[in-house]
Amino acid sequence: MVRLMVWRVLALVIFVAIAVPARAAEAYQVGTISSLLAGGYDGNTTVGELLRHGNFGLGTFNGVDGEMMVLDGRVYRGNSDGRARPVSKEELTPFAVVVAFRPEGSVRVARGQSLEQLQATLDALPYSPSRILAARIDCRVETVKIRSVPKQKPPYRPLGEVIKAEQVVHALHGVQGTLIAFRFPATASSVNVAGWHFHFLTSDKTRGGHVLDLTTGAGQASLEEIADLRISFPAQAPAASASAEAIRDVERPQ
């Protein structure tokens, strides 16, 4: 009798495990990179709504008014003066991606790595290149170049033109902070930046922006693989997808 009861309990456990699979991680995105590059700078999604879907992410604000950093459930704007400030939940965004961050693994980050070397280190980890990868890297950076642009007014120019004409770059040295990063697969190139996209926020939350270049100090990277993506598409979209060259020119302009 006891043995029979044990087998029934085991069968019930197995059934529950099969019937209720582990929930796959899901990212939530507002807008598309193609729309943003074409000048789609106005959105109707609030920061408050964005935070309902995740506590970790990056993006921008209406009029590309600064770089967005979402960390530990709070949202910060990196302005063109290099300063970071918290924003209200009423702020709007045309483009952002967030995830309810639950790291699956971690790896130490070695001192003295360039941005390309850091990307290669993360790419070498056993995560699928066909899925989204979110990475939170808490570290001291020896140097980091961050950028933002002033708020734009209609009629909007394409983002590539704005970056070339108005981006402001600041160099920070020997600061502690967090790199907020996402890697999207090549198949999602019209939706988000194919490859890596990094933003940085200092530990005191006073400086931040889009990362153009860096040299790492020692740190720790926490990572989560994301299988699903939910998108709130813009009301108006460009006629064609953004090219790899257009995205590269915005991510790391020469």
User: Which domains does the chain show, CATH number per domain?
Assistant: 25-251 (3.30.1330.80)
Nearest to 206 by CA among 178, 168, 169: 178
Of the listed ranges 122-126, 190-194, 249-253, the one predicted with least confidence: 249-253
31-40, 210-219, 242-251, range with the lowest pLDDT: 242-251
Q: What is the mean pLDDT of residues 225-254?
A: 74
What confidence category does residue 13 fall into, taking pLDDT thresholds of 50, 70 and 90? Answer: very low
Residue 254 has pLDDT above 70, yes or no: no
For residue 185 the two structure tokens come to 């697969």
Give me the pLDDT at residue 195, please. 96
Residue-wise pLDDT tens digits, 59-86: 999 999 999 999 999 999 999 999 999 9
Partners of 197 in beta bridges: 182
**Picking from 17-31, 126-140, 213-227, which range would have the lowest pLDDT averaged per residue?**
17-31
Looking at the DSSP bridge assignments, the partners of residue 77 are 68, 85
pLDDT of amino acid 243: 63
pLDDT for residue 21: 38
Query: What are the tens digits of pLDDT across the range 128-180?
Result: 999 999 999 999 999 999 999 999 999 999 999 999 999 999 999 999 999 99
Q: Do 41 and 149 meet the contact criterion of CB atoms below 8 Å apart? A: no
Residue that wins the pLDDT comparison between 246 and 83: 83
Helices H, strands E: what count in the chain?
Answer: 6, 14
Residue 249 pLDDT: 60
pLDDT of residue 8: 39
Structure tokens, 140: 């001291």
Summary mean pLDDT of the chain:
89
8 Å CB contact between 145 and 213? yes
Rounded-to-integer distance, Cα 118 and Cα 55, Å: 23
Its pTM stands at: 0.87
Tokens of 31: 């807008």
Mean pLDDT, range 226-234, rounded to an integer: 94
State the average pLDDT over residues 35-52.
96
Q: Between the CA atoms of 200, 84, 64 and 134, what dihedral angle is there, to the nearest 10 degrees? A: 30
